[in-house]
Structure 1
């Protein structure tokens, strides 16, 4: 039986940490940044941790 392919859409959007957490790059940092305060931009630049069913489903898509 051939190997399963990793879902490329999921692999471009999330990453798995060494401890198994699913990290996602935050949204709202592409454009219109001049209207956001420095404090807001710093907070948005942090990666978000996905939990529960979302994390479980993405791990299945990534074959992890």
Structure 2
């Protein structure tokens, strides 16, 4: 049986914190920024904890 390979694309998009939570960049800050308020784009800066509904799927892709 071959080894399970982790999904490299997902590995580049998410990180695990020291306590085991999964965090990722927030969506919505790549393009069409002129139409979004400065307040909104600042709020989208940085990382956020991944939604609980997605954690199981992401862990499976990471091979954990």
**Distance 1:21-1:34 versus aligned 2 partners, 3 A rule:** same
Please give the root-mean-square deviation of Cα atoms over the aligned residues, in Å: 1.9
- Deviating beyond 3 angstroms after TM superposition, the runs of 4 or more aligned structure 1 residues are none
- Equivalenced residues, count: 64
Gaps of 5+ in 1: none
TM-score (norm 1): 0.74
- C-alpha offsets along residues 19-62 of structure 1, whole Å, 9 cap, x if unaligned? 11111211111112122222111111132211334112211221
Matches within 5 A, 1:1-64: 2-64=2-64
TM-score (norm 2): 0.74
Gaps of 5+ in 2: none
